[in-house]
A and B are shown apart, each in its own frame.
Chain A
């Protein structure tokens, strides 16, 4: 059995002649919580839909639990839980009927756990799905996904529409799940705070490419933003590798660099700057830097 639960190999996707994914390579090992970030329309949902076989790729291959995404068997589907912004539930059905359908079409169903979740979320069984609020649909979706006791959970913006308490409940559920051996989670979110709390590895999608793909704890150590002031005008080219962003204004240069080390420090010092301060970066800052146009990749 492969160590990697999710494998994406050179994935390319075009929609109506527009390139959305431009050669994505990604591996998620077993037991990992992978947080996939990116701006709206960056292709996160597309990657997930291709992984689940809902969308065919233009080029390249994706694998879930060692099986090609275009050939996922019923048994494999039963090991995967999928939660997306409420839009993959059948809106015209009543909640009760939807639950029965999902239960009948599952290979294993943890009734006790499911009922516990339904009670915690206070979801009504007799209303139609389309009459529920976005948040309640998200919670229903989550409960249905968790009830099958999945090995792999794929979340696409799972906390959209959830209030603060519900979001916290979701995080705690995710943590509880990951404490059980061998579970893997792939999730996309816009709420960086949540991602920072629970992700092991992080990926940032920008301009159709995965510009960041490394363990979260290393990210802040690896990416440095420096404010450098030169005695005369700032040089245009520092001959440094892995510059994510560079802005020169007169004598001042603000530069964001990946994998900062002594060599780069020495290289910078050859230009004899008068001062060099580090600007602290939160995950949000790093995200914004990496999603500006023309980012350079940071890989582990």
Chain B
């Protein structure tokens, strides 16, 4: 796994790790039930404080993105089953609201915003309807 920590970013390092893991999962680079490197391994690999990585993993687990099995390590969750719909709705809605606020400040109109949104969706191969 490759991580890039952006020192000029306003997001804390643990948040950047979370973002990148989620992105990798969404892009199919990490698949269901795939084993993630241990905190120790990853810390040594990318020279990041293990506590930071542990925090990222904890939060991912809370959000249901990964599961940790005692003695075995961390694995990408079987995404269909573990997250309840309400949790998913909450997470996505928060992100959407953030985008809406940004768009407001940048004076982007609703139509343009939706167009850009559809482009982003297309990039990640989201199924058009859950089937």
Contacts and interface: CB of A to CB of B under 8 A. Distances in A.
Any A–B CB pair closer than 8 Å: yes
Interface of A: 33, 168, 171-172, 175-176, 178-179, 192-193, 196-200, 216-217, 219-221, 275, 277, 280-285
A275 B55 CA distance: 35
Given A179-B43, A217-B55, A283-B7, A197 B12 contact: no
Nearest to A276: B105
B105 A277 contact: yes
Interface residues of B, number: 20
Interface string B4-31: 0101111111100000000000000000
Interface of B: 5, 7-14, 40, 43-44, 47-52, 55, 105
A168 B45 CA distance: 10
B47 A172 contact: yes
Most chain A beta-carbon contacts within 10 A, residue among B9, B10, B50: B10
Contacts of B40: 179
Contacts of B8: 282, 284
A281 B49 CA distance: 21
Contacts of B47: 168, 171-172, 175, 197-198
B62 to A, nearest CB: 15
B48 A217 contact: no
Q: Which residue of A171, A192, A197, A284 has the most chain B CB atoms within 10 A of its CB atom?
A: A197
Contacts of A216: 12-13, 52
A198 B49 contact: yes
A253 B12 CA distance: 26
Contacts of B14: 217
A219 B12 CA distance: 8
Nearest to B105: A277
B11 A220 contact: yes
Contact of B13 (A33, A175, A217): A217
A200 B51 contact: yes
13 contacts: A175-B43, A175-B47, A179-B50, A193-B7, A198-B48, A198-B49, A200-B49, A216-B52, A220-B12, A275-B105, A280-B9, A280-B10, A282-B9
A217 B50 contact: no
Contacts of B55: 217
Given A175-B48, A179-B43, A196 B7 contact: yes
Contacts of B5: 193, 196-197
